[in-house]
Chains A and B, each alone.
Chain A
């Protein structure tokens, strides 16, 4: 799934983002999000980092969770709000224009689930560390961290193959939007580094897209 670099083009036209991403990923992103959200239960408090047009946030709300979705792109949020209204979920989902740097305003041990889809690959190195540390702080003991993102494959052969597939796509996206994405390297290690315990990791065949589930230990040494 090297296609994610093309989402940059879609982001420049938020109205086409959802449809475009679905076409680009042949629906695989949809099923990845469905699997991730299956960990969310009714009545839980959920935070979606970099919610974009609300793919993960709205799925969680549909499962009966109380959701807060944050993103820095006001145009994407407008679409997310419209979708919430259309789905009759305005009472349980709240979209805020806010970046991960503002997570220090959130209460400690507050959320049952902190999730993020295709957001970490857009953060700077400092932001990524900060976001993970804050996620660890604001999620309840025993709560979950759910991530789905573009990652750097582990083996050299796969990195090379992915690079070759990605290059022409990256050039198109770059020419169009002058931006690109940065696949995350060592995501599991980084997640463990801030204190989460890994529960499961699912990788695509090429090893370039990761679904990760981790838990915050109830007490030290779990």
Chain B
């Protein structure tokens, strides 16, 4: 794909990031692969497919695009839209088995919340390797005999990604707002859209200032409320001083701007945590769960460490044991629980109820973060 095409897909894909965008599923050739070339797999979210292809320039490999219903890997896997069936299906029906002599497929690590590696291996005869979180790390991963350091396993939220999230919230809100203001408040249309983009950028760019104080419990909510209050008051002060500078302060107009900024900030903040890779969605029930390790069952094989996107685990391979020294970083994605071959991990609620690995594998989260059990 030309640079122009890639840029276009990137821009459209980012602005409409919150909406699924399907691309063709099946087998893609990257470079000039032969019978020993690595086989990689990704989802069929268009933006992801193009980014993976771009990251793999200069590599000879096969890329399998599995049907994740046009949704990104992490969300699709956690929501039950990218399962072992979808991976098995593309392995069996894409023709890859006739193209390579080996049987090893590299899956994106974030798919581990929904694709049970062991079930897949048993059913397909393919060996599963959990690759890096980010496609950009794949060439290095391939060059270093599939060694994956802690850096390749962890999710990050750098300014580039924060900028993308700001745009992907600002754009749909602008569209809705443009439709509303075009009818009821036409002269404010352009200003309203500018305000949305400025608020989104300020919110996401200043994330490092308040991000670390967020969390699952009461404190996280309080921090979000404080951010909300600070931004809203700041926005109102800017507006008021602007009106003052003009020497004209129509209270009705200022009131309307107040309501508008209040609503826009509310929409953007209500699930701010879910828009970052560093926290579970604040709307999901799972956010209050804790992963507990049964040391009696653990044999220290280290699947948990391999799939944890927050580097919570420390595995002692000599003593065949695992521990969670950084449990406070957990985002309750459940990948470790799904993959543990000995069912040594499970979720526990604050009230002490447990959610077993079997339940977590069987019942995926729906959009509202509920685990539907009949």
Contact = CB atoms under 8 A, between A and B. Distances in A.
A82 B367 CA distance: 25
Nearest to B79: A178
B25 A126 contact: yes
B327 to A, nearest CB: 29
A95 B42 CA distance: 30
Interface in A1-43: 12-15
B71 interface: yes
B337 to A, nearest CB: 16
Contacts of A75: 362-363, 372-374
B284 interface: no
A178 B20 contact: yes
Interface of A: 12-15, 72, 74-75, 78-79, 82, 98-102, 104, 124-127, 129-130, 174, 176-179
Given A12-B366, A78-B374, 6 more contacts: A14-B374, A72-B83, A75-B362, A101-B93, A126-B95, A179-B70
A125 B81 contact: no
24 contacts: A12-B372, A14-B374, A72-B83, A78-B374, A79-B374, A82-B374, A98-B85, A99-B85, A99-B88, A100-B89, A101-B85, A101-B89, A104-B92, A124-B26, A124-B89, A125-B25, A126-B94, A127-B89, A174-B19, A177-B367, A178-B71, A179-B69, A179-B70, A179-B81
Interface of B: 19-20, 25-26, 67, 69-71, 81, 83, 85-86, 88-95, 123, 362-363, 366-367, 372-374
A126 B88 contact: no
A178 B88 contact: no
Nearest to B87: A101
A108 to B, nearest CB: 17
Contacts of A178: 19-20, 69-71, 367
A124 B25 contact: yes
Contacts of B88: 99, 101-102
A99 B89 contact: yes
Contacts of B70: 178-179
Contact of B372 (A13, A125, A129): A13
Contacts of B367: 12, 176-178
Contacts of B372: 12-15, 75
A123 to B, nearest CB: 8
A82 B374 CA distance: 10
A60 to B, nearest CB: 23
Contacts of A102: 88, 92, 123
Nearest to A103: B92
A13 B90 CA distance: 26
Contacts of B19: 174, 178
Contacts of B20: 174, 178-179
A129 B83 contact: no
Nearest to B75: A178
A177 to B, nearest CB: 7
A176 B366 CA distance: 11
Contacts of A72: 83, 85-86
B332 to A, nearest CB: 21
A124 B43 CA distance: 13
Contacts of B85: 72, 98-99, 101
Contacts of A124: 25-26, 67, 89-90, 93
A79 B26 CA distance: 31
Contact of B362 (A12, A74, A99, A126): A74
B45 to A, nearest CB: 11
Contacts of A12: 366-367, 372
- 5 closest A-B pairs (Cβ-Cβ)? A101-B89, A72-B85, A99-B85, A126-B93, A130-B93
Nearest to B25: A124
Nearest to A97: B85
A98 B124 CA distance: 12
Question: Which of B19, B26, B85 has the largest number of chain A CB atoms within 10 A?
Answer: B85
Contacts of A98: 85
A111 B366 CA distance: 36
Contacts of A101: 85, 88-89, 91-93
B93 A129 contact: yes
A49 B95 CA distance: 22
B175 to A, nearest CB: 14
A104 B88 CA distance: 12
A124 B66 CA distance: 9
Question: Which of B67, B91, B93, B95 has the largest number of chain A CB atoms within 10 A?
Answer: B93
A176 B19 CA distance: 11
A174 B86 CA distance: 20
B116 to A, nearest CB: 11
A79 B374 CA distance: 8
Contacts of B83: 72
Nearest to A177: B367
A27 to B, nearest CB: 25
Contacts of A82: 374
A17 B363 CA distance: 16
A185 B336 CA distance: 41
